[in-house]
């Protein structure tokens, strides 16, 4: 399950506004690479939608099926807002419905077959 925790409004280059919903997955324990200590976190992802701000605001707190999965992507630089530190990442988090998640976790990719 994921929960809608917030939304964000953006503007296109043409000046048209649109919203994205911010969804959060369940609680998970992660081991820090720098301190080797375990901490709790929850993955978040942004989802495009066709809703206006009023509808997005009313949806906060809504649960629905699916999960937030870590997806490998080409490396890119990301600035941590709270510290200003620039880090290089090669993943992003993306919402996946239950069916899509099952397929991605259980089907062997063609390039992995010899």
Which secondary-structure segment (H or E) carries 108? none
- Judge whether 93 and 71 are in contact, CB under 8 Å: yes
In the chain, where are the structural domains located? 2-112
Global pTM reads 0.75
pLDDT reported for residue 52: 95
Between strands 2-11 and 63-64, the pairing is antiparallel
pLDDT reported for residue 33: 81
pLDDT reported for residue 99: 72
Residue holding tokens 């690479």?
A: 33
pLDDT reported for residue 4: 97
The pLDDT profile of the chain, 114 residues, written as one tens digit per residue, is 999 999 999 999 999 999 999 999 999 998 888 888 999 999 999 999 999 999 999 999 999 999 999 889 999 999 988 888 999 999 999 999 877 766 666 666 666 555
Measured between alpha carbons, how far is residue 55 from residues 14, 33, 34, 38 in Å? 23, 40, 41, 37
| Biggest alpha carbon–alpha carbon distance for the chain | 52
Q: Which residues contact 17 (CB under 8 A, 6 or more apart)?
A: 9, 10, 11
């Amino acid at each position: 399950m994921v929960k809608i925790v917030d939304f964000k409004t953006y503007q296109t280059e043409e000046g048209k506004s649109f919203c994205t919903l911010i969804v959060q997955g369940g609680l998970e324990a992660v081991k820090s690479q720098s301190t080797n200590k375990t901490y709790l976190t929850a993955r978040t992802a942004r989802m495009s939608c066709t809703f206006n701000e009023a509808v997005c605001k009313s949806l906060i707190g809504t649960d629905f099926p699916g999960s937030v999965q870590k997806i490998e992507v080409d490396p890119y630089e990301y600035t941590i807002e709270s510290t200003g530190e620039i880090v290089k990442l090669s993943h992003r988090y993306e919402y996946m419905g239950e069916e899509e998640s099952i397929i991605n976790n259980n089907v062997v990719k063609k390039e992995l077959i010899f």
